[in-house]
Amino acid sequence: MLKIIEAGAAGAFRAETPALQRNNDVEAAVDRILKDIQERGDAALLEYTARFDGAVLESSAVTKEEMDEAWEAVEPEFRAILEEAAEHIRRFHQNQVKEGFRFQPEEGIILGQKVIPLASAGLYIPGGTACYPSSVLMNAIPPKLAGVQNLVLATPPGKDGKVPAVILCAARIAGVDNIYKMGGAQAIGALAFGTETVPKVDKIVGPGNMYVATAKRRVFGVVDIDMIAGPSEILVLADGTCNPKYVAADLLSQAEHDAMSSAVLITDSRALAEAVQQELEVQLAALPREAIARKAIENNSFALLVNDLEEGVEYANQVAPEHLEICTDDPWPLLEKVRNAGSVFLGKNAPEALGDYWAGPNHVLPTSGTARFSSPLSVDDFVKRTSFTYYSREALKKSAKSIETFAEREGLSAHARSVTVRFAEEE
């Protein structure tokens, strides 16, 4: 049953989540796999695929024939849904595309910045019991809008050596360039270091289990990564006018992900908290993933009673949730007070699932309190910025003495000379 606590008794909101803790056994196993991929390339990759996925492959690459077969295997109605969702995601992320700038602060000086897309990126999509075409769309569309030329998707095959048709269908819609049947730490290693057939990429994004997350952490620096994600989270900020059935359903939308997920209700209404508590029991009993969701509700979730919702927003900012719902008739004033949240859903008709599949903002979000300092996946994650500087001789001469003084003050005489040498003959 969902715990109900008073704000004054809330205590610390967050301890370290297990997903972010280090596991020595996992790290040792990942290190061995990464080293093996570096040394033996495709041979090691195919061996791990046979060992962990039960699929014996001659090549990890997905062929055009497999792509065509998958396209035809997905019913046209669902293809149309995927295409419309993709269009919503493009529509939102198109607003993130930025150009560089160039300006002339004074005569003889030109300064600016170039925005350059990464040459390549790798997208990891989990397999096994999971099949999330929405993750393909969310992770693949921003880099294509950024201008990434080679977007590589890695996903583990089933024992039959195939990738789920909906994953391949979503990849085609999103514009993925190459797809490989590989999973786990070995896939991260192949993307980071390259093999005979898998190209080395500049950045790796996408969700995964503890082995994938550990491998991403290990290869960071060789390549860039998006984030190390923890369990799913939702925080619902609701007043007494909310329908408890809606609130309970929204809490369970995240609780069903994982037993380590958290679902928090913050409200100024004890009556609502108690009604939600009862409604959760009703809805849990009808949920196919009841066992998972119940553990999340009983172990990691609670309802917090506050004096008013402005106080509730301050608690929400402490939690820095992955998903924040503001379920009031007029959510806009409270939105102004939100400082820490991955994605915010406003009003009584914006359940979190709207963001998972349809609205357009990215569902790859910071978890475990990292929304205090990080952001959702975006076009910005797939570009780099290079500044440039031009000075005419006259402009440099004007500043030479100041630069010389600055450099000498720091004890870097060669820095100073690199400027003064250009005017030595004039003295």
Active site residues: 322-323
Which class for 375: exposed (0-12), middle (13-18), buried (19 or more C-beta within 10 A)?
middle
Cα–Cα dist 90/264, whole Å: 31
Q: Which residues contact 95 (CB under 8 A, 6 or more apart)?
A: none
State phi, psi for 388 to the nearest 5 degrees.
-140, 150
Sign of CA dihedral 304, 307, 313, 315: negative
CA distances from 124 to 151, 320, 408 (A): 11, 26, 50
165-174 and 76-93 helices cross at what angle (nearest 10)? 40
- Rg over alpha carbons for the chain, rounded to the nearest Å, is 26
Cα–Cα dist 101/120, whole Å: 24
Let me know: does 292 contact 258? Beta carbons within 8 Å: yes
DSSP β-bridge partners for residue 234: 263, 323
Phi-psi region of 11 (alpha: psi -120 to 50; beta: other; left: phi over 0): left
- Strand runs labelled E in 66-163: 101-106, 109-117, 120-124, 150-155
Per-residue burial over 345-361, b if 16 or more Cβ lie within 10 Å, else e, is bbebebbbbebbbebbb
Token pair in block for residue 174: 């999103």
- Residue-by-residue DSSP string for 145-213: HHT-SEEEEEE---TTS---HHHHHHHHHHT--EEEE--HHHHHHHHHH--SSSPP-SEEE----HHHH
Q: Which residue has the tokens 């569902």?
A: 363
